């Protein structure tokens, strides 16, 4: 067998050997780039765990859900800014931030403070808990809360009719904005992904 391999190698000329070597080096470089990307992505994904866990504990919200919202809203970038003035990890609007600050009796609160990951996740999780409680009479309040978080209560009330009033699966199908429907589905899917990694995210 060794002789056959030797013969095959000898049969290749220098040009072919160089080409094979170039391909091998290319494959190794690509594998290295992919490994570095995966490592960095994983590190980024864990970068806000402390703030997420603290907010989830404080307001009694599933940490995997909070993390999934952070993933969708900002991809874990605390400096993210939205077109409508949203700030930070959970893309908090000023009215929602001020409502949280008032509930927590924080004096001299400024919306810009939501750039801070801890402040942002506290305000966002407080607001998310409010949405979850709003739809507590449904079979699963999470899709309703996410749709509300993304598109507002007025739109949710338009879609929350018939079976969709209490049946979350029917509600998702009835969401009138394709972008919001995709938002809800993607956050639910990501939430399940993070739940599978618990207790790491508790």
94 is catalytic: no
Q: Which of 16, 26, 21 is nearest to 8 (CA)?
A: 16
Looking at 62, 73, 99, 173, which residue is catalytic? 73
DSSP string of 54-113? Answer: HHHHHHT--HHHHHHHHHHHHTT-TT-B-TTS-BTTTTB-HHHHHHHHHHTT-TT--GGG
Q: What is the dihedral of CA 147, 150, 155, 159, to 10 degrees?
A: -20
Show which residues are catalytic: 73
């Amino acid at each position: 067998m060794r002789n056959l391999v030797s013969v095959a190698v000898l049969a290749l000329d220098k040009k072919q050997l160089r080409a094979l070597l170039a391909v091998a080096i290319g494959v190794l470089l690509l594998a290295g780039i992919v490994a570095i990307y995966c490592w960095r992505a994983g590190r980024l994904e864990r970068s806000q765990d402390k703030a997420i866990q603290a907010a989830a504990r404080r307001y009694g919200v599933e940490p995997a859900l909070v993390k999934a919202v952070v993933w969708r809203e900002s991809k874990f970038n605390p400096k993210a800014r939205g077109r409508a003035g949203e700030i930070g990890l959970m893309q908090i609007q000023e009215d929602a931030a001020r409502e949280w600050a008032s509930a927590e009796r924080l004096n001299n609160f400024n919306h810009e403070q939501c750039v801070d990951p801890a402040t942002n996740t506290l305000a966002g999780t407080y607001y998310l808990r409010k949405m979850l409680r709003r739809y507590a009479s449904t079979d699963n309040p999470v899709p309703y809360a996410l749709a509300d978080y993304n598109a507002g209560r007025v739109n949710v009330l338009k879609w929350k009719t018939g079976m969709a009033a209490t049946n979350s699966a029917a509600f998702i199908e009835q969401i009138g904005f394709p972008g919001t429907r995709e938002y809800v589905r993607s956050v639910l899917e990501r939430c399940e992904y993070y739940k599978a990694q618990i207790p790491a995210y508790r």
